[in-house]
Structure formats: C-alpha cells, structure tokens
Amino acid sequence: MVRAFGLSLVVLALSVGCGSEDDGSTLPNGGNGGGSAAGGGSGASGSGGLIGIGGASGSGAGAGTGSGGSGGSAEVCDGVDNDNNGIIDDVDVGNDGICDCLLIATLGLKGEWGAGNIFATWLSQRSDNGATDLNDAVLTDALLEKYQVIVVQDVSKMNRTYSASEVAALEKWVKGGGGVMTLIGYADPSEIANVNLLLAPFGLSYGSQQILQKQGGNTVPVTNWVTHPVTAGVQKVGVDNGYPVQGGTVLASEGGFDVLAAATQSEGHVLVWGDEWITYDSEWSGHPDYQVEHFWLNAIKWLTPAKECQVAVPPVR
C-alpha cells in the first residue's frame, strides 16, 4: 500500500458523546504536546515527554520523534523512512501514542445520544492532518487508498446499502494492508445489515440480539479480556445496548456475550467491537476506572500497518 504522505485513519460514522456536556476540549492527556526533536540515529529520550522515542535531542513538553536508525536523518511526514529504522513516518512529537502523520477522517453520521465529541476532538489534536468527515462517501479503490485505518460506526442513515463493488473495494483494501474497525449500537436495527455487508468477506458479523443494557445510569463494564496487543493494559471499558460479535478471535466478553473480536486478513487487520459508547464523552470523563483512551491507542496501533506510522503507546495512567 503506497502513498505520498503518511497514514490515515478513516472513522466511518463515529458517535458523538452522551452523558456530560463536555465538548471534548478537555482531554484525558491534554492536547498535542509542543516541542521539537532533531536528528536520526539511536537517540536519547526527549525531555518532558511521557516516552522519548528516537531523535537525538528534544525540547519542550512531550518532545520526541520516530525511533532512530543507523545513519538516517530526522523522521518527518513524507512517506519516507528518513531515519532508516524500517518504519515510515513514525513521528510522535507529543509522545501521546498517536502518529502525527495520520490522516484521520469520519465516514457516516455521528451518534445522537448526548453532547460533546471527545473522541473526534482527541483524534484531531493528535494528528497534524486533523480529522476529515467523509460522511456517506462511496467506497472505491481511489478513496480507500488514501487511508490506513477505517472505523465504521453509524451507517444506518445513509439511505442506501453498500453495493457489492463497495464491499469488494473494502476487502481488497484490507487485504492490501488496511485496518478496519467497526462499532455498533446506534438504536437502529438496520445498521446491523449494512455493517454485516462490509464484514462478510472477513467471516465476521454482529448478532441481532441487543445485549448488556445499562445498569442504572452507568454502562456495563467489560472485564473479561484475552491477552492481545489491543487489550494490553485494559481492565474495564463500558458498553450499553450493543450487539454480540461473531467470528474471528474473541478478545473480550461479558455476561456470556462476545463483545470484541479480531481477524488478520493477508496484510491487514479487522477489529469488531460490539458497542459504540467508547466514543462518548461520558465514558472518557465519567469513569476513571475505565481505560477507554488506552483501548483506542492500542486499537489504532494494531490496525495501522506494521511498518508505517508505528509509535509507542504511553503507559496507562
């Protein structure tokens, strides 16, 4: 999968927050760290950052950049392995766990269960390219080749179903190295049919039974996690009125239902999550015992191609 610059994350219809009225401007780990890093090679950690990765020197809060290789120059977002470490565009100046070279976008409609959009804001502040809303764009080879990761959310209000050619384009893109993650649970049963169309080539799907309703005012914490790069450091993440996942390798379950599954398809990855509340502000700010941000950092890293835009994920706070 060759591109002119950097990586991309497409979010197909990410939900907007429910719960608190936070507009997403106050993030768990703050915004993008300032500062700069210089020099390739095996450098020391930058000062002030959570994790210094690579560059010979760094200054300012969260300074650092891609891991240094032998005889290279400072890594920048240009689609080239400047520091000769075997990874293209592995730049994370703020050491926040999101590659600065990612192009982040959304495809589909936002959720309607509350105010605020902390997830979209969080992504935008951690990529130099910001987040782009692609809404109900038709999936084609030309569109998909611009991106590295696609997160599918609410695709129930598109007034159409995905065509066979769109499904084939997504399958080709994933097998060529792309990473796709799906979310579900936007209170419209029609969404299952559309998402399942996209998942069918990978042997994954959602069941039709709604599961794990809220307990009072709180989401149901998922506590049973299988060891995997996506689940590392994660102990609890909440769900409400989701749908069980079917197929793939099960990574998490609760109440007898599978809620997270993963699959590798040739060069690409597929991740299926049985809910959508991980995009809502209430889950980020209202549950200090949940590791929602860390779960997203793990997921994005795993979905990103192994030799492009790979940066270190900070420890759980």
Domain boundaries of the chain, sorted by first residue = 12-30+137-300
**What is the residue-level pLDDT of the chain in tens, covering all 317 positions?**
645 444 444 455 444 333 333 343 344 444 443 333 333 333 333 333 333 333 333 333 333 444 455 568 999 999 999 999 999 999 999 999 999 998 777 777 776 664 456 777 888 888 887 767 777 899 999 999 999 888 888 888 888 899 999 999 999 999 999 999 999 988 777 789 999 999 999 999 999 999 999 888 899 999 999 999 999 999 999 999 999 999 999 999 999 999 999 999 999 999 999 999 998 888 998 899 999 999 999 999 999 999 999 999 999 97
pTM score, whole prediction? 0.81
Point out which residues pair with 224 in neighbouring strands: 253
Distance CA 131, CA 103 (A): 7
Given the candidates 3.30.365.10, 3.40.50.880, 1.10.1740.10, 3.40.50.720, the CATH classification of the domain at 12-30+137-300 is 3.40.50.880
